[in-house]
Structure 1
Amino acid sequence: MIKLDYGNISVNKVGATHGLNLEQVFKDSEGRIRDIVSQMYAEKDQAGGWKRWLNLGYDQALADELNAYAQSVKGRFSDMVILGIGGSSLGGYALLRALLHPYWNQLSDAQRQGFPRYYFVENVDGDQINPLMEMLDPQRTLFVVISKSGTTAETMSAFMIAKDWLERKLPPEKVKEHIVAITDAKTGVLRPVADKEQYQTFEVPDDVGGRFSVFCAVGLLPAVLCGVSLAEIQNGIRDLDKVLQNPDLQQNPAAQGALIQYSLYERDKRISVFMPYSFRLASVSDWYVQLWAESLGKKTDLQGNTVHVGPTPVRAVGVTDQHSQVQLFNEGPFDKVFTFVSVGKPAQDIQIPANQFSDIEDLNYLNGKPMSQLMQAEFDSTRASITANQRPNMTLHLPQVDAYHVAQLLYLLEVQTAIAGALMGIDPFDQPGVELAKKYTYALMGRKGYENLVAEARGEKSAIGV
């Protein structure tokens, strides 16, 4: 399974100023970690606790429902458009980028074996929406609208445009066949609309927040519609979950990662860099940024004290960012902790030709070498340079990029985030800072009930104390 190597966090590798005495840190925190992990899993079915995402890997009924729907529509749609934002978009996109052909949308229908191309509309920019609609065939396009509340302005505005487009292009009785809604089971604005219009619907379960929703229909429906194996995803989660439920710090990699990040945050390592060495995992970095930032960046702790805490996540991708950010990483401020992701076996490899530039000494060392060897050398050298410059770092080792192991990577990061939140004494499942901005948007757009916030939203009135 996925493994965590935290050796380069220790004082032996990066020095006492920037490293941790891991043996002492683990010893001092064993009891606290035991309580946090035990309590978290004990509360996974508790209403209002927002921990039911811990159950998603075991939801066989959902997998069966999604597989049945995917089979029923296979071959009917050449294009799938996912309308969502944040947690309703990033997880599904990370799965598809990781698990499908890197140039999936450029493949022919035959090469895709009848599965659709995919597009994510996660912005309100006409430069994204208009050109996409111009190239789609309404007869062959499926829209998946994802919003638990149905009031997400970005998602619902895009949905209104898509619905109008379908209604102008298709017979009235056919429109519903081209729309799937993923929303709350009973409440919200989208649920009654979907029921009235008779759309195919799937639920966002109670007590599952957006950034922890990748393993419900939010992330799994786009995946299964493109042929990804839900069985492999769930098997990966279930196998890893046996390890992560263990409250013994010495045996739990998610708890180890959370404790290390928290301990270094307390020592002013306030930036968390996430850097996979894989083209396929590039979008996992984007997903991680939301997971870490929205979960851990909080104004108040659980006792209501003002604390203004939260590590800042930074996205990076190897080897690309060796020529972008690594100069800063190696010689800039000592304010970062690094999480690398290495992949043992690439999905595809290619050998550098042995007959190119053989007469040029500065290039012939590459001749005949597989690209995977170069990738591994780049990773090893970057990690070594980061360590030599006394920058604490750890590595998640992924045997290969497939549904089983990518699911483990995402699930481990979810559990790590929840444990880190508990260590920081904050609620990792709310997002009040996001909600205030949403209210200001409602006010500026003229939504009824938010008129009193217009002046604040325009900057005409101080918002101090809000």
Structure 2
Amino acid sequence: MVNQIVQTTLLNCSLDQSNIDKYREPVKSIHTQLKNSNNLVGWINYPMEDHNELFNDILAVASEIRSNAEILVVVGVGGSFLGARAVQDSLTPYFGKHKSGIEVIYVGQNMSGAYINQLLEYISDKEVYVNIISKSGGTMEPALAFRVMREYMENRYGSDSINRIIVTTDAEKGLLKKLADKTSYRQFVIPSDIGGRYSVLTPVGLLPIAVAGIDINALMDGAKNAAIELQEPDIAYNHAYQYAVMRHILYNMGYKVELLASFEPSLNKFHEWWKQLFGESEGKEKKGLYPSTVNFSTDLHAIGQFIQDGSPILFETLLHFHEIMVDYEIPFDSRNEDGLNYLSGRTFNEINAISKQGTALAHAEGGVPVIQLELPKLDAYHLGYLIYFFMKACAMSASLLEVNPFDQPGVEAYKKKMLELLKEEKVSK
């Protein structure tokens, strides 16, 4: 294995490097096809391109929002909110506001009347900006939420609402683009050659992330390093492709579920982004691994029994960061009534890392194949690297299944049926 930032190892499986090496030529071929494709692959080179002017514009708007508001409401669904929320939750404190950011909250990712009602009540006495994110403007959930938020902002701020609503949409077409041009809202562009679930490293994710006080330059530096390292077409020198091939071989061996597990609760929303990335990219033509997630050690006391001894339908991918930004040392207690003084002086993160090792060994010995993905530190740089790593692995993995990694016909099917039912109900009334 080569020395890249994401270290990839495999436990308990007949699969070894010789099995992976059999895919050397198919991987090289797919790599070349993706590189030369015109099909929504703009994300491949995006981190390596010069976007300094764009990033400065994003930082300027983010600074303005932080100076004039207490809350940014982001309106979006799917790739238009999952990536930003994943990075935000991964890198901001569990409790209270980030010291250099403001509160970023999300709407348009569900149809709950209670959710939007309570959101409006919550922001009623706070200064607010809105960022609506949609390539077309026609997706039902964010379109309805934006209708509500637009009315709220106009009623509250009058003509100044134009300055407090930021639109992130297509450069040339779509309902939202027309509305933004007509109303003179400020706009950021969603690149036309980048699909939603691959868009977190564009203005789609970068504006909310910057408003939350996270260093987007460090995030993009990590992604740039990944983009450079993972240009390598030879599977022997590309850990993202090795991970993709491991998944593919395990799928062909009969495993139908991949369980992504991590050991830091701040990564829960990152799990959701990962599920969309792989689920929408691979779940086609009755093919694909079902992407599921758990957070340890919490879920070791919930679903751990099934993982260890249940139906042999899944393999596990353990995601672990060796260094977390803050930690806490176990205190010494002279009473020692809990019998835990043998742990005093050690830290929670140190014990968490040992928990990861024990979990990996126990599950592997129980017959569960375990892929380990390990990174040095949970920070903006390494998270940017990991985001790109997963996108590159996903494109390869879906291509090995011979499905298009960049469309989502099943999602369009549900939208069509929902619209038909809504129109039928209106006619019946």
Which category describes the TM-score, using the shorter chain as reference length?
A: over 0.9
Taking the aligned partners of 2:126 and 2:162, their CA distance within structure 1 comes to 12
1:120 matched to 2:77? The reply is no
Q: Distance in 1 between matches of 2:91 and 2:321?
A: 14
Per the alignment, residue 151 of structure 1 pairs with 138
After superposition, the Cα gap between the structure-2 partners of 1:272 and 1:59, relative to the gap in structure 1 and judged at 3 Å, is farther
Output aligned runs, 1:192-207, within 5 Å: 192-207=178-193
Please show how residues 270-281 of structure 1 align to structure 2 within 5 Å: 270-281=256-267
Structure 2 partner of 1:429: 406
Contact 2:91 2:214 in 1 (8 A): yes
CA displacement at 1:315 relative to structure 2: 1.2
C-alpha change, 1:353 and 1:157, in structure 2 (3 Å) is same
Deviation at 1:396? Answer: 1.2
Provide the residue aligned with 2:281 in structure 1: 295
8 Å CA contact retained: 2:65, 2:72: no
Shift of 1:232: 0.8
Contact 1:258 1:420 in 2 (8 A): yes
CA contact (8 A) 2:45 2:227 kept: no
Distance, in Å, in 2 between the alignment partners of 1:227 and 1:372 is: 24
> Normalising to structure 2: TM-score of the pair?
0.94
CA distance in 2 between counterparts of 1:401 and 1:26 reads: 29
CA contact (8 A) 2:21 2:236 kept: no
Q: Which residue of 1 aligns with 2:26?
A: 32
Local SS of the residue matching 1:145: strand
Listed as ranges, the matches of 1:16-415 within 5 Å are 19-43=13-37, 46=38, 49-57=39-47, 58-60=49-51, 61-103=53-95, 106-107=96-97, 112-113=99-100, 115-121=101-107, 122-137=109-124, 140-171=127-158, 173-299=159-285, 308-355=286-333, 357-361=335-339, 363-415=340-392
Note closer, same or farther for the CA distance 1:30–1:163 as it changes in structure 2 (3 Å cut).
same
Q: Give the Cα separation in 1 of the matches to 2:279 and 2:398.
A: 11
CA distance 1:164–1:397, shift in 2 (3 Å): same
Cα offset, 1:357, TM superposition: 4.5
Deviations 1:300-358 (A, max 9, x none): xxxxxxxx101101111121111111111111122212111111111111112101651
User: What root-mean-square deviation, in Å, do the aligned CA atoms of Structure 1 and Structure 2 show?
Assistant: 2.0
- Conservation of the 8 A alpha-carbon contact between 1:357 and 1:364: no
Please state how far the C-alpha of 1:70 moved relative to its aligned partner.
Answer: 2.0
Deviation of 1:36 (Å)? 1.4
Work out the CA distance in 1 between the residues paired with 2:62 and 2:80.
19
What is the CA distance between 1:24 and its match in structure 2?
2.4
Unaligned runs of 5+ in 1: 9-13, 300-307, 456-466
How far is the alpha carbon of 1:406 from its aligned partner? 0.4
Structure 1 stretches of at least 4 aligned residues deviating more than 6 Å after TM superposition: none
Q: Which whole-Å CA distance do the structure 2 matches of 1:72 and 1:119 have between them?
A: 17
Question: Which residue of structure 1 lines up, in the alignment, with residue 6 of structure 2?
Answer: 3
> What is the identity, as a one-letter code, of the residue corresponding to 2:130?
F
Rate the CA distance shift 1:439–1:28 in 2: closer, same or farther, 3 A: same
Provide closer, same or farther for how the CA distance between residues 356 and 397 of structure 1 changes in structure 2, counting only shifts above 3 A.
farther
1: CA distance, partners of 2:151 / 2:234? 55
| Cα pair 1:138 1:169 within 8 Å, conserved | no
* 8 A contact 2:223–2:387 mirrored in 1: no
Measure, in 2, the Cα distance between the counterparts of 1:153 and 1:433. Answer: 16
- In 2, Cα distance between equivalents of 1:359 and 1:403: 41
Distance 1:40 1:356 in 2: 62
TM-score normalized by structure 1? 0.87
1:139, distance to aligned residue in structure 2 (A): 6.6
Deviation per CA, 1:165-185: give whole Å up to 9, x if none.
1222222x1111121111111
Deviation of 1:359 (Å): 4.2
Residues 356 and 62 of structure 1: CA distance in aligned 2, closer, same or farther (over 3 Å): farther
Residues 1:322 and 1:38: Cα distance change in structure 2 (over 3 Å): same
CA contact (8 A) 2:102 2:213 kept: no
Describe the superposition over 1:23-44 as per-residue Cα deviations: whole angstroms up to 9, x where unpaired: 321231111111112322233x
Does the CA contact (< 8 Å) of 1:151 and 1:189 recur in 2?
yes
Could you tell me which amino acid in structure 1 is paired with residue 190 of structure 2? V
Give the letter aligned to residue 242 of structure 2: Q
Rounded Cα–Cα distance in structure 2 between residues aligned with 1:184 and 1:127: 31
In 2, the alpha carbon distance for the partners of 1:75 and 1:247 equals 46
Q: Is the 8 A contact 1:182 1:218 kept in 2?
A: yes
Secondary structure, counterpart of 2:265 in structure 1: coil
Q: Retained in 2: the 8 A contact 1:254–1:413?
A: yes
Equivalent-residue separation in structure 1 for 2:309 and 2:335 (angstroms): 34
- CA shift in 2, pair 1:22/1:225, >3 Å: same
Give secondary structure in 1 for the equivalent of 2:305. helix
Identity of aligned pairs, percent?
29
> How many angstroms does 1:251 deviate by?
0.7
Cα separation, 2, equivalents of 1:209 and 1:79:
27
Residue 116 of structure 1 aligns with an amino acid whose one-letter code is I
Worse-matched range after superposition: 251-260 or 387-396 = 387-396
Q: Look up the equivalent residue of 1:92 and give its one-letter code.
A: A
DSSP 3-state at the match of 2:417? helix
Which consecutive unaligned segments of at least 5 residues does structure 2 have?
Answer: none
Quick one: which amino acid aligns to residue 90 of structure 2? A
Q: Find the aligned partners of 2:307 and 2:106 in 1 and give their Cα distance.
A: 32
Letter in 2 for 1:93: R
Residues matched between the structures, number: 422
Q: Distance in 2 between matches of 1:314 and 1:278?
A: 16
CA distance in 2, matches of 1:430, 1:328: 33
